[in-house]
A and B are shown apart, each in its own frame.
Chain A
Amino acid sequence: MNIINIAPGVDLLFIQNDRFKTERISVNFYLPLQKDKMAQRSLLPQILTSESAAYPDFTALNRKLCSLYSAEISGSAEKPADFQKINIDCCYLSEATVGGGISDEVLKLLFELIFNPNFENGVFCKESVEREKRLTCERIIAHFNNKRAYAISQIYNFAFAGEAFGELSTGSLEAVKGITPKSLTDAYFEMLQSAYVLIVAVAPKLTESVKNTFAKAFSEIDRKVTFIPESQKLKAQNPPKTLNEKADVKQAKYVMLFASDCRFDNRQKAVANIFCDIFGGGTYSLLFSVVREKMNLCYYCASRLNARKGFLMVDSGVDGKNLTAAHEGILQQLEKIKSGDFDDEIIEKSKITVTSALKAADDSSAAISGFYSGRFDSLITPDEYAELINSVTKEEVCDMAKRFALSHTYTLSGRESDE
């Protein structure tokens, strides 16, 4: 792994790849998740990638990117656990594909967007801040239209009440409305000064200009990085806590959270990864093959793991009259895994599928960048992780399943049609 420290708290990970027609530079800022700051920090990647001092008009910037063969510079903010990852991602057709000094031009633009924002009197331009605030508020308001995503955000809000993790990744509507040019500017400088930064470059070669440009820019900032990526685990609840909501929906959404006391190192993550996959991952999983296909209880029913926050989530789309049966059917599958009452073949299928996905990650610069930026604090290569996956035993999977207990459920159902 070719990782170099280029400034205090700034690492550059270079992944050599000459198979792609594109090159990618992804700049990731990691900061603690704080309720009073998450809205500002979430807005930062939006405003930084929409304009700059040299391109104060967002359509002019869009047009410039278009003229560079649709070079993309996009921003996003995530809350993977009790920290925020702010990402500025840049992908463009490679020098070898289109030539004409495109790499240098895009790098210059990326640098301009991150380090030379559109300020007015020392703070972000008021008009631009208001525009980006409005767009984020509209997104929050429209969130209800995607019932599956809405149901997931509702259970997070319920299970992590009081914690920043329970909020939408954008921050609440009220918090977004309260952002001012000054508070956004403060958040910007705080990000530059105190975030841990991981830059992932996927290209045929690491040019001196990439290394030097970022090294120089960060070295000129008085940086004090204190960030430690620790997260509070979901607390188990006995009996489980339940929240029901009614709306005009024809298909009910049912979400369950299972808490675990496990501390996940890479080895434990691999075991939990296989457990989650055979529970509700691929088409061979028990939730798909039994709850959906045999019992016909759900249209979709899938599980996902958040090892950092110590929980596994199952979300499903269910006919309202089948909610109780679906609940029981899902728990039965978990019990089957705990007691080892499943075919050994499922584990083999799962290992092949998961390792295949890891190998495939090497075929996409976005997947490569996503893989490493998600594991920034315990870097491991896809091959090393695949080895861990292949060594998982059935006994370990059963033991892992035993460490998860139902803690919260959430139901969004129709006003009249449910049980």
Chain B
Amino acid sequence: MNNASKFLDSVLKRIDHPSGLTVYLYKMPGFASNYAIFGTRYGSIDNRFRFGEKIIEVPGGIAHFLEHKMFECADGDAFEKFARYGAYSNAYTSFDRTCYLFSCTDFFYENLQNLLNFVSVPYFTEDTVKKEQGIIGQEITMYDDMPSWVVFINLLKCLYKDHPVNIDIPGTIESIAQITPKLLYDCHKTFYTPANMFLCVCGDFDEDKVVDIIDVEIKGDNAPLPVSIFEKESRSAYKQSFGAVMQVPKPLFAFGFKENPKLSCREIAAKDIAVKLISGECSPLYKTLLEEKLIDGSFSGAFSFGRGFAFTSFEGNSDNPQAVADAVLGEIERIKTDGVDISLFEDIKKGYVGEILKDFDNGEDVAAFICDCACKGFNPAKYIEEIENLTGKDVKDAIDSFFKDAFAISTVTAK
């Protein structure tokens, strides 16, 4: 298949709804289940923003807190309504987005209406906010016990001095204690405006009915697009290293590079491929690291990108994290000098397109891919087209842009 992007373009429909909401419809004829995800470009990094004439700063973890609270409605619990119609529902908050989702096989339109309605209409009271502080407090302690999360967030604290990507997504016990109903209403008003949101629907549905429901539930509010304020960050890492100590059976590491956050769709595609070329399961480095017993099956690499931040990270368990880091740095230097193995690059590119296409059998996976593209600000078909058109030079440029001062390493070692 040479034209995966054309295929996607032909099956994925984008509607720019008059309310400002961006809607993606992916038809899956004959499938029993339908899946919808309703998201806002609002995540844990958006804690300083313009609110009317003012700039306000809100406590860390408030986006995630808001996500939890949205399920509580004036007329009952949104979970309850989904359950009545047999839907599985959930939500998540990441650095740059909050997404609400459901899947069901029956009562799709009722569930879609419920989704659009409960996310659009906030309802908070002092009592319910207080109760949630207890539940989220428990979630925070759970993350504190996860060394893989601790080592990752510590890497971000090394890479970033001021950008709020260095703050834990659920915040801290202290920060969430400052959250009030008023602050939640302010955040909802600012970020849950249709023009800042997207809806993705996948399954076997009637397009007109979906649009009718959106017409009823989503009204344009002419609100300006939210503006989050981020301090200007140096291109270099804030700190070179950080070590934490926990009860772990084996050391964990996360290291990587701070990257230029202003990248084009093609440059992002090149970064994604570059990581696979450096350390993916087909790479010579992966083989060497396994044979030298420096890594195990937990090793992985990824490129991450959002508003005002971008980084490439490598994570895993190892008795010698520094040796793994040295090997990855050495491989990057080797490719900088020797150039890209074009035959390997072509296989990886083909594999990456296949990976994405396979996701199109699953509504949840397609929606996640589309949401990711929507948050990064590019068209999903365009992203695939960029992958298909990438050249060895694009990937070489992506690798050449890694530089020493942007590197940091975080470890968690045993007590």
CB within 8 Å of B: which residues of A? 19-22, 57-59, 62-63, 65-71, 91, 93, 97-99, 131, 134-135, 138-139, 141-147, 247-251, 282-284, 292, 296, 298-299, 317-319, 345, 349, 352-353, 355-357, 359-360, 362-365
Contacts and interface: CB of A to CB of B under 8 A. Distances in A.
A284 B71 CA distance: 13
Interface of B: 1, 28-33, 79-80, 82-89, 103-106, 131, 134-135, 138-139, 141-142, 144-148, 246-250, 252, 281-284, 286-287, 290-291, 293, 296-298, 317, 344, 347-348, 350-355, 357-358, 360-363, 415
Given A59-B287, A283-B89, A70 B296 contact: no
A62 B281 CA distance: 6
B104 A356 contact: yes
B281 A59 contact: yes
B33 A359 contact: yes
Given A59-B286, A66-B347, A360-B105, A248 B247 contact: yes
A299 B139 contact: yes
22 contacts: A63-B282, A65-B351, A69-B351, A69-B357, A69-B358, A70-B355, A71-B354, A99-B1, A131-B291, A134-B296, A142-B317, A144-B248, A145-B146, A249-B247, A284-B79, A284-B83, A292-B135, A298-B138, A319-B138, A352-B83, A356-B87, A359-B32
Interface core residue of B32, B146, B355, B361 (most chain A CB under 10 Å): B361
Contact of B250 (A67, A141, A355, A362): A141
Contacts of A19: 28-31
Nearest to B145: A249
A299 B287 CA distance: 40
A250 B144 contact: yes
A362 B362 CA distance: 11
A155 B42 CA distance: 41
A251 B138 contact: yes
Contacts of A359: 32-33, 105-106
Contacts of B286: 59
In the A-B complex, the 5 residue pairs with the smallest Cβ-Cβ separation, listed nearest first, are A69-B354, A352-B86, A66-B351, A70-B354, A138-B296
Contacts of A135: 290, 296-297
B361 A364 contact: yes
Contact of B105 (A91, A144, A356): A356
A142 B33 contact: no
B344 A356 contact: no
Contacts of B249: 141-145
Contacts of B82: 283
A296 B132 CA distance: 9
A329 to B, nearest CB: 14
Contacts of A249: 145, 247
B86 A93 contact: no
Contacts of B296: 134-135, 138-139, 142
B335 to A, nearest CB: 16
Given A59-B286, A251-B141, A69 B1 contact: yes
Most chain B C-beta atoms within 10 Å of own C-beta, residue among A66, A68, A345: A66
Nearest to B1: A98
Contacts of B354: 66, 68-71, 93, 98
Contacts of A365: 361
A131 B295 CA distance: 11
A59 B104 CA distance: 40
Given A349-B84, A364-B362, A67 B350 contact: yes
A20 B82 CA distance: 27
B142 A58 contact: no
A97 B2 CA distance: 11
B102 to A, nearest CB: 11
Contacts of B89: 283
Given A63-B344, A134-B293, A144-B249, A21 B147 contact: no
A46 to B, nearest CB: 9
B106 A22 contact: no
B83 A282 contact: yes
Given A65-B351, A99-B1, 16 more contacts: A59-B282, A59-B286, A62-B282, A67-B351, A93-B1, A93-B354, A97-B357, A139-B298, A142-B250, A144-B249, A247-B247, A249-B145, A250-B144, A319-B138, A352-B85, A363-B31
Contacts of A349: 83-84, 86
Contact of A250 (B28, B145, B250, B353): B145
A345 B86 CA distance: 12
A168 to B, nearest CB: 14
A352 B81 CA distance: 13
A65 B415 CA distance: 41
Nearest to A64: B347
A352 B284 CA distance: 50
A153 to B, nearest CB: 14
B4 to A, nearest CB: 9
A131 B290 contact: yes
B87 to A, nearest CB: 7
A283 B79 contact: yes
